[in-house]
């Protein structure tokens, strides 16, 4: 395996990982920001108030985006397996 091929594979791995994680992390971040603003406005500092909505959002996002994430991961795995013969 050449160094440029290894670097390209690593870049593809990192971009695929970022694309897979981004929908869930982005939605959880937005909900966390909204809950934080709500806590600042109402001065309610309850820990479960910030944790529960983020947990529910992450679960819903995984259900909604799960098939797309699995498809993306399957495509990456297929590309990886099909490139094995060209490595040698």
Q: Three-state DSSP class for 85?
A: helix
Per-residue pLDDT, averaged over 32-59, amounts to 90
Task: Say yes or no to pLDDT of 17 above 70.
Answer: yes
Domain positions in the chain are 3-87
CB 57 within 8 A of CB 28: yes
Q: Is residue 60's pLDDT more than 90? A: yes
| Whether pLDDT at 48 is above 90 | no
Q: What is the pLDDT of residue 1?
A: 67
Confidence of residue 63 (pLDDT cuts 50, 70, 90): very high
State the distance between the two ends of the chain, measured CA to CA, in whole angstroms: 7
- Tens of pLDDT, residue by residue over 3-14, are 888 898 999 999
């Amino acid at each position: 395996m050449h160094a440029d091929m290894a670097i390209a594979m690593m870049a593809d791995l990192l971009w695929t990982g970022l694309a897979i994680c981004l929908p869930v992390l982005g939605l959880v971040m937005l909900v966390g920001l909204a809950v934080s603003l709500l806590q600042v406005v109402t001065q309610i500092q309850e820990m479960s108030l910030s944790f529960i909505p983020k947990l529910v959002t992450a679960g819903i996002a995984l259900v909604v985006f799960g098939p797309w994430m699995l498809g993306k991961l399957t495509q990456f795995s297929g590309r990886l397996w099909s490139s094995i013969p060209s490595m040698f």
